[in-house]
Structure 1
Amino acid sequence: MATFVLVPGAWLGAWAWDETAHALRERGHTAIPVTLPGLAERAELGGPQTDLNTHISDITDLIERHDLRDITLVAHSYAGAPVTGAAGHLGDRLERVVYVDSAPFEAGMCMLDLMPPQEADQLRQQVTVLGDGWQLAMPPIDVLGLSSSLDGLGEGQRERLLARATPQPFGTYTQRLADATGPGPGVDHVLIACHDFTALLDAGMPMLASLNQPPWRRFDLSTGHWPMLSAPAELADVLDAASTQCANTTT
């Protein structure tokens, strides 16, 4: 059985993984959902100083403090950035890295690089005017709904997402990843792609081309960008299958 460390995307806390974690435990796995500093029940730990390195250190410290080994480190969305940074520090503690609707970051990248310059400038202005210079609020539902990211979320789930979301420390978006050495040799690489990301991969985007090749193993999930909310049991099934299939191929 696997030990899953579940790291949520922007604006979310460990609460977002509740149903998926429960489903994984029912299958006999260990599931450890994470809340990063500055978010959810750890919101009071955030401030202008909270940045990408803060989150990288928090993930690494959690795993080392509890002496976790043979772990499957799961990154949803934004968490791809700190998980990439943490993976390079975990050595043989790491058995598998899973990116859920996300991808590893290269050294020198930041979250703002993933959006058009005009949109990035709008976010900076929003944070300056409305976020005390360091907090990025979650976009309203009509903005989120411009893509298929909300697919699978019923009205109650959408309300829960917006009600429990907390502002993201903006330093985690602006700080560039200094070290992207990645996981050590022998670590299993898994990608779980939802609707929008599946379309990008299938379109053959050059910057994502490597994710369709070994050592990556790709699983597609027919839902929107928040599968832990829209399809929690199905996400657990895929995570379980990824760990089981890998175990079967190495025995």
Structure 2
Amino acid sequence: MASYLLIHGAWHGAWCWDKVVPLLEQKGHSAVAVDLPAHGEDLTAISTITLQMYADKICEVIGQQQEPVILVGHSLGGISITQAAEQCPSNIRKLVYLSGFLLPNGVARLGYGADIEGSLIDAHKEMSIDKTSVSFKPAGIKETFYHDCRIEDIAKATTLIKPEPIAGIVTPVNYTAERFGRLPRVYIECLQDRAVLPALQKRMYTETPVERVFSMNTSHSPFFSAAGELVDYLISAG
């Protein structure tokens, strides 16, 4: 049996894993979903957020587990798990990127893949007046993230989505072959993703190679639309 630590992406919180955690537990695994600082129920001020704070939080929770974890990052959460892997690799068994940002060393999310056009995020995001966060317009939530999800899941997400601190978007990842690079990596691509386009996902797992790629015929949010299938892949990945 394995221990899973689940990290959400931009605008989301631990709540996005609410279907996945019990399914993993039913199969005999342990699973913990974390609110990164200023996300979900965490009330840290957005203006104070840094990428290092995300890595610190993840490594803190990893240190509380009974064994090395399979660390899963969705979307922008991929950047957070990469930085955490550099910081505390000894407590991580494997990295899993779910339509996640797996970036080359020294690269930030901002501007990466700008030549791959068509993401619906661009049409619906809105920078705050003080330039510390990016909000997502409610009108675009379903078509961007959840077009294959149940109405009740979309309604839940719409009430819980929060502004995204800019720090995780503009800060480059910084890692070494000796720490992050020694950990095995798996990628789960979402083939109907309208947020992180399949072409961009493929670029990432090609530029920064992984040991295995799983493909899901879903939107950006299989934790809602195909939770059972996602859990099967997470178990296979481990």
Q: Normalised by the size of structure 1, how large is the TM-score?
A: 0.80
The answer to whether the 8 Å contact 1:49/1:171 transfers is no
Who is 1:246 aligned against? none
Who is 1:236 aligned against? 231
Partners of 1:238 and 1:7 lie apart in 2 by: 16
Partners of 2:2 and 2:150 lie apart in 1 by: 31
Who is 1:135 aligned against? 133
1:41 aligned counterpart, secondary structure: coil
Partners of 1:53 and 1:11 lie apart in 2 by: 18
Alignment of 1:169-184 (within 5 A): 169-179=165-175, 181=177, 183=180
Who is 1:110 aligned against? 108
Partners of 2:176 and 2:156 lie apart in 1 by: 34
Distance 1:143 1:241, change over 3 A: closer
Is 2:187 the counterpart of 1:191?
A: yes
Who is 1:84 aligned against? 82
Consecutive unaligned residues of structure 2, counting only runs of 5 or more, are none
Who is 2:35 aligned against? 35
Structure (1 or 2) with the greater helix fraction: 1
One-letter code aligned to 1:209 = T
Percent same amino acid at aligned positions?
25
1:15 aligned counterpart, secondary structure: helix
Who is 2:58 aligned against? 59
Partners of 2:189 and 2:126 lie apart in 1 by: 30
One-letter code aligned to 2:150 = G
The answer to whether the 8 Å contact 1:198/1:220 transfers is no
The answer to whether the 8 Å contact 1:98/1:189 transfers is yes
Distance 1:158 1:70, change over 3 A: same
Q: Deviations over 1:150-186 (max 9, x none)?
A: 342132222221111111112221222233555353x
The answer to whether the 8 Å contact 1:190/1:218 transfers is yes
Higher Cα Rg, which structure: 1
Consecutive unaligned residues of structure 1, counting only runs of 5 or more, are 244-251
Who is 1:166 aligned against? 162
Partners of 2:173 and 2:200 lie apart in 1 by: 23
One-letter code aligned to 1:219 = F
One-letter code aligned to 2:13 = G
Partners of 1:136 and 1:201 lie apart in 2 by: 21
Q: Deviations over 1:185-228 (max 9, x none)?
A: 3x3321111113684279x74x54246x6x52111111110111
Match of 2:94 among 96, 102, 113: 96
1:153 aligned counterpart, secondary structure: coil
Is 2:217 the counterpart of 1:222?
A: yes
2:106 aligned counterpart, secondary structure: coil
Partners of 1:105 and 1:231 lie apart in 2 by: 26
One-letter code aligned to 1:220 = S
The answer to whether the 8 Å contact 1:201/1:209 transfers is no
